[in-house]
Amino acid sequence: MADTGNRRYHAAMTDLTFREYVEERVTRKERVTGDHAASSFAADVLADGRMPDVRAWGQLELYLVTIGASAATITAAKKVWKEYRAVRNRRRD
């Protein structure tokens, strides 16, 4: 069963916080190749020790607006947030 490892990986991903997801996203180069804005946002998240443990898009967006993030950064953040939510919402097989 070659698929078992993949299922275990996705099951583990459903328990990640947003910050943990971003760390995983940055370390898995195939996930970020070619998407420079999302990669840049992810790197910024890891470098920012002040970012709260966000649990909703509104919290993340408010934080980004509060720190003066550019529109491009907010757009990239929304893309990464949607990816994160998609992974979290996957049902375990």
d(CA 84, CA 87): 5
Beta-carbon contacts of 44 under 8 Å, excluding residues fewer than 6 positions away, are 73
Whole-number pLDDT of residue 59? 96
Low-confidence ranges of the chain (pLDDT < 50): 1-2, 11, 30, 32, 91-93
Nearest to 46 by CA among 23, 25, 16: 23
For residue range 12-36, what is the model confidence (pLDDT) as tens digits? 556 789 988 888 877 665 454 566 7
pTM to 2 decimal places: 0.73
Total domain count, the chain = 1
Q: What is the pLDDT of residue 30?
A: 47
Confidence (pLDDT) at 27: 66
Element at 38 (helix H, strand E): helix 36-47
Q: What was the pLDDT predicted at 92? A: 44
**Distance in angstroms (rounded) separating the CA atoms of residues 68 and 57:** 16
Q: 22 lies in which domain range?
A: 3-89
